[in-house]
Amino acid sequence: MKNASLNISRAIVGLLFIFSGLIKANDPLGFGYKLQEYFEVFHISFLNDYAVLLAILLCTLEIVLGALLLLGFWSSKVAWGLLLIIIFFTFLTFYSAFFEVVTSCGCFGDAIPLTPWQSFAKDIILLSLILHLFLRRKEILPVLTGMKAQQFIAGLVLILSLGFGLFTYSYLPILDFLPYKVGNNIPQLMITPPGAAPDVYEITYNLKNKSSGETKSMTDKEYLKTQIWKDTNWEISGDPVSKLIKKGFDLKIKDLKITDNQGTDYNQEILENPYYNLVIVAYNLSKTDAAGIGNLNALAINAAENYNIRTVLLTSNSAQDAELFSKKNKLVMEVFYADGIPLKSMVRANPGVLLLKNGVVINKWHFRNMPSYDELVEKHFGAN
**Same domain, residue pair 214 and 160:** no
Q: Using CA atoms, how far apart are residues 193 and 207, in angstroms rounded to an integer?
A: 38
Domain with 234 in it: 200-246
Give a yes or no: residue 342 inside a domain: yes
Of 149, 170, 191, the position where a domain reaches its end is: 170
Does 229 have pLDDT greater than 80? no
**Same domain, residue pair 236 and 345:** no
Give a yes or no: residue 175 inside a domain: no
Give tens-digit pLDDT for 289-325. Answer: 999 999 999 999 999 999 999 999 999 999 999 999 9
**Same domain, residue pair 290 and 373:** yes
Characterize the bridge pairing of strands 334-337 and 310-315: parallel
Of 155, 170, 185, the position where a domain reaches its end is: 170
Give a yes or no: residue 195 inside a domain: no
CA nearest neighbour of 184 among 355, 344, 367, 343: 355
Give a yes or no: residue 369 inside a domain: yes
**Same domain, residue pair 221 and 358:** no
CATH of the domain at 326: 3.40.30.10
Q: Using CA atoms, how far apart are residues 290 and 343, in angstroms rounded to an integer?
A: 18
Name the band, by pLDDT with cuts 50, 70 and 90, for residue 105: low
Does 1 have pLDDT greater than 60? no
Neighbours of 153 (CB within 10 A): 17
**Same domain, residue pair 231 and 358:** no
Structural domain count of the chain: 3
The percentage of the chain sitting over the pLDDT mark of 70, rounded to a whole number, equals 97
Give a yes or no: residue 193 inside a domain: no
Is 334 in contact with 312 (CB distance < 8 Å)? yes
Is 183 in contact with 249 (CB distance < 8 Å)? no
Does 366 have pLDDT greater than 70? yes
Give a yes or no: residue 255 inside a domain: no
The amino acid sitting at 36 is Q
**Same domain, residue pair 360 and 292:** yes
Instruction: State the pLDDT at residue 95.
Output: 82
**Same domain, residue pair 43 and 100:** yes
Name the band, by pLDDT with cuts 50, 70 and 90, for residue 165: very high
Pairwise pLDDT comparison (109 vs 90), residue with the higher score: 90
**Same domain, residue pair 211 and 307:** no
Q: Using CA atoms, how far apart are residues 9 and 134, in angstroms rounded to an integer?
A: 11
Does 264 have pLDDT greater than 60? yes
**Same domain, residue pair 159 and 65:** yes
**Same domain, residue pair 148 and 30:** yes
- Tell me the three-class secondary structure of the chain, residue by residue: CHHHHHHHHHHHHHHHHHHHHHHHHCCHHHHHHHHHHHHHHCCCHHHHHHHHHHHHHHHHHHHHHHHHHHHCCCHHHHHHHHHHHHHHHHHHHHHHHHHCCCCCCCCCCCCCCCCHHHHHHHHHHHHHHHHHHHHCHHHCCCCCCCHHHHHHHHHHHHHHHHHHHHHHHHCCCCCCCCCCCCCCECCHHHCCCCCCCCCEEEEEEEEEECCCCCEEEEEHHHHHHHCHHHCCCEEECCCCEEEEEECCCCCCCCCCCCECCCCCECHHHHHCCCCCEEEEECCCHHHCCHHHHHHHHHHHHHHHHHHCCEEEEEECCCHHHHHHHHHHHCCCCEEEECCHHHHHHHCCCCCEEEEEECCEEEEEEEHHHCCCHHHHHHHCHHHC
- Tell me the three-class secondary structure of 56-125, residue by residue: HHHHHHHHHHHHHHHHCCCHHHHHHHHHHHHHHHHHHHHHHHHHCCCCCCCCCCCCCCCCHHHHHHHHHH
Instruction: State the pLDDT at residue 383.
Output: 67
**Same domain, residue pair 32 and 95:** yes
Give a yes or no: residue 357 inside a domain: yes
Instruction: State the pLDDT at residue 312.
Output: 95
Of 215, 246, 277, the position where a domain reaches its end is: 246
* Stretch 91-97: mean pLDDT: 83
Q: Using CA atoms, how far apart are residues 173 and 22, in angstroms rounded to an integer?
A: 11
Give a yes or no: residue 20 inside a domain: yes
Name the band, by pLDDT with cuts 50, 70 and 90, for residue 111: low
The percentage of the chain sitting over the pLDDT mark of 90, rounded to a whole number, equals 58
Characterize the bridge pairing of strands 241-246 and 200-209: antiparallel
**Same domain, residue pair 146 and 222:** no
